């Protein structure tokens, strides 16, 4: 199925979870609680259709075809 | 000098603790740094260390695999507390959503609330700012409100529950310094939360002036990151903030119209 990730079309396997998406994009292995498995800070957040999804719910939250997902992190600013 | 003044001076002079306390958290430096405008992450890290900052802002943007290195990790490695901002937000709705994302990504409920009116002035939109402050406070955020140098608005934001008010000296990135020192003094005199002079700082003396006017801290980015030698400028600001703080505690002499001799007239030799 297809979603929009950070404004561009992105293909994910059917019934993929947010956890799978974050892991795929960042290349980090995630624990079930949404923290990085290597113990270092992950530093990213996800909004699904303009709603923030807490990392503790990433693995239990499924993506749906046509979802609009924003994946953000800290950059230089201010 | 009264005991209170002696105490203040000692604190400002470094013989005791002169931490900046916001939301019950003690920060060892009164210089809050921004990170925008630095050409490289390595150079930025060196400038931040030279500045002695304990709190530094970051912006929240779309994750990119092209990004080399992690700014967040750099701050964590140096023990610098992170203050996410809502830079680029024009509405309360966007600012609240950005703050929620930042809280989730960086695991802090501190946020520098920035709701701007347009890209030319980057001035805060007072109406959206008030709305966003109220919403964020209700959601448990500690709001550092970037505001106009308006004493009325500053007090409004404090009454809504802002943890700190941050009036601008002049528009972001202009380096014009503090255009309305009187308003800054007025904001300071009425505030019971920390006042942070934010934006418009051009060089070290501007930061010293902010502290002399009674501000509790200074926030700046461009003045360091775009300086010809960011590390040297970072260190200059470290001293400027401290010097201004000490001068404010020491109590300046009154301004006067005519000269006042500092050498006694009595006892002069007479030449016949």
pLDDT tens, residue by residue, B81-115: 999 999 999 999 999 999 999 999 999 999 999 99
Check pLDDT > 80 for residue B4.
no
B105–chain A nearest CA distance, Å? 4
pLDDT digits (tens, 9 = 90+) for B161-196: 999 999 999 999 999 999 999 999 999 999 999 999
Cα separation of the two ends of chain B? 43
Give the list of residues 6+ apart from residue A32 with CB closer than 8 angstroms, or none: A59
Q: Which of A47, A71, A74 to mutate to test the interface with B (most CBs of B within 10 A)?
A: A74
* Closest listed residue to residue B83, CA positions, set B41, B48, B135: B48
Q: Which chain B residues contact residue A6 at CB under 8 A?
A: 62-63
Q: Given CB atoms, is B139 within the 8 Å cutoff of chain A?
A: no
CA distance B6 to A62: 62
Q: Given CB atoms, is B130 within the 8 Å cutoff of chain A?
A: no
Q: Which chain A residues contact residue B144 at CB under 8 A?
A: none
CA distance B52 to A31: 35
Tokens of B42: 């390595």
CA distance A66 to B40: 37
DSSP 8-state class, residue B252? P
Nearest-Cα residue of chain B relative to residue A54: B104
pTM score of the predicted model: 0.87
Is A43 in contact with B36 (Cβ distance < 8 A)?
no
- Predicted confidence at residue B111, as pLDDT, reads 97
Query: Which residue in this structure is represented by tokens 């993929």?
Result: A16
Residues of B known to be catalytic: 112
Q: Given CB atoms, is B135 within the 8 Å cutoff of chain A?
A: no
Query: Of the candidates A46, A55, A76, which has its C-beta nearest B44's C-beta?
Result: A76
Nearest-Cα residue of chain B relative to residue A43: B105
- Predicted confidence at residue B11, as pLDDT, reads 53
Please state the ipTM of this predicted complex.
Answer: 0.90
Q: Which chain A residues contact residue B67 at CB under 8 A?
A: 73, 75
* Angle subtended at Cα A38 by Cα B84 and Cα A8, rounded to the nearest 5 degrees: 55
Query: Which residue in this structure is represented by tokens 């020491």?
Result: B250
Query: Which residue in this structure is represented by tokens 């979802």?
Result: A67
CA distance B11 to B5: 10
* Continuous segment of H or E residues that includes residue B245: helix B230-250
A73–chain B nearest CA distance, Å? 5
Tokens of B24: 């019950």
Pairing of strands A44-48, A8-11: unpaired
Is B62 in contact with A43 (Cβ distance < 8 A)?
no
Structural Rg of chain A based on CA atoms? 12
DSSP 8-state class, residue A17? B
Q: Please say whether the beta carbons of B51 and B236 come within 8 A.
A: no
- Predicted confidence at residue B6, as pLDDT, reads 47
Nearest-Cα residue of chain A relative to residue B73: A41
Query: Of the candidates A42, A72, A78, which has its C-beta nearest B101's C-beta?
Result: A72
The helix/strand/coil state of B87 is: coil
pLDDT digits (tens, 9 = 90+) for B219-272: 999 999 999 999 999 999 999 999 999 999 999 999 999 998 888 888 989 898
Give the list of residues 6+ apart from residue B9 with CB closer than 8 angstroms, or none: B1, B246, B249, B250
Q: How many CB atoms lie within 10 A of CB B121?
A: 11
Q: Given CB atoms, is B59 within the 8 Å cutoff of chain A?
A: yes
The helix/strand/coil state of B119 is: coil
Give the list of residues 6+ apart from residue A8 with CB closer than 8 angstroms, or none: none
* Closest listed residue to residue B167, CA positions, set B128, B95, B121, B217: B217
Q: Given CB atoms, is B82 within the 8 Å cutoff of chain A?
A: yes
- Predicted confidence at residue B7, as pLDDT, reads 54
Query: Which residue in this structure is represented by tokens 């900052």?
Result: B53
Q: Could you tell me what percent of chain B has a pLDDT over 70?
A: 93
Nearest-Cα residue of chain B relative to residue A55: B104
Q: Given CB atoms, is B224 within the 8 Å cutoff of chain A?
A: no
């Amino acid at each position: 199925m297809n979603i929009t990730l950070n404004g561009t079309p992105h293909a994910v396997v059917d019934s993929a979870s947010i956890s799978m998406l974050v892991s795929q994009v960042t290349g980090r292995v995630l624990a079930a609680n949404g923290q990085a498995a290597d113990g270092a800070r992950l530093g990213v957040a996800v909004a699904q259709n303009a709603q923030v999804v807490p990392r503790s719910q990433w693995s239990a939250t499924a993506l749906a075809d046509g979802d609009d997902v924003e994946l953000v992190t800290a950059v230089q600013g201010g | 000098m009264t005991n209170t003044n002696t105490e203040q001076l000692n604190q400002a002079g470094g013989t005791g603790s002169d931490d900046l306390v916001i939301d019950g958290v003690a920060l060892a430096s009164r210089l809050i740094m921004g990170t925008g405008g630095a050409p490289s992450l390595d150079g930025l890290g060196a400038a931040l260390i030279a500045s002695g900052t304990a709190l530094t802002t970051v912006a929240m943007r779309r994750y990119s695999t092209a990004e080399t290195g992690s700014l967040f990790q750099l701050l964590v490695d140096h023990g610098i507390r992170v203050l996410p901002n809502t830079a680029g937000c024009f509405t309360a709705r966007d600012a609240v959503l950005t703050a929620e994302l930042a809280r989730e990504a960086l695991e802090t409920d501190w946020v520098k609330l920035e709701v701007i009116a347009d890209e030319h002035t980057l001035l805060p939109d007072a109406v959206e700012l008030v709305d966003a402050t109220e919403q964020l406070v209700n959601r448990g955020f500690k709001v550092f409100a970037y505001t106009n140098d308006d004493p009325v608005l500053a007090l409004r934001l404090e009454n809504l529950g802002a943890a700190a008010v941050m009036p601008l000296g002049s528009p972001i990135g202009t380096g014009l310094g503090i255009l309305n020192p009187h308003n800054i003094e007025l904001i300071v005199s009425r505030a019971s939360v920390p006042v942070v002079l934010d934006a418009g700082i051009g060089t070290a003396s501007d930061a010293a002036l902010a502290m002399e006017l009674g501000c509790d801290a200074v926030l700046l980015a461009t003045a360091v990151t775009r300086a010809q030698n960011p590390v040297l400028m970072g260190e200059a600001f470290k001293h400027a903030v401290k010097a201004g703080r000490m001068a404010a505690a020491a109590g300046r002499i009154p301004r006067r119209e005519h000269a006042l001799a500092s050498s006694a007239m009595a006892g002069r030799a007479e030449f016949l």
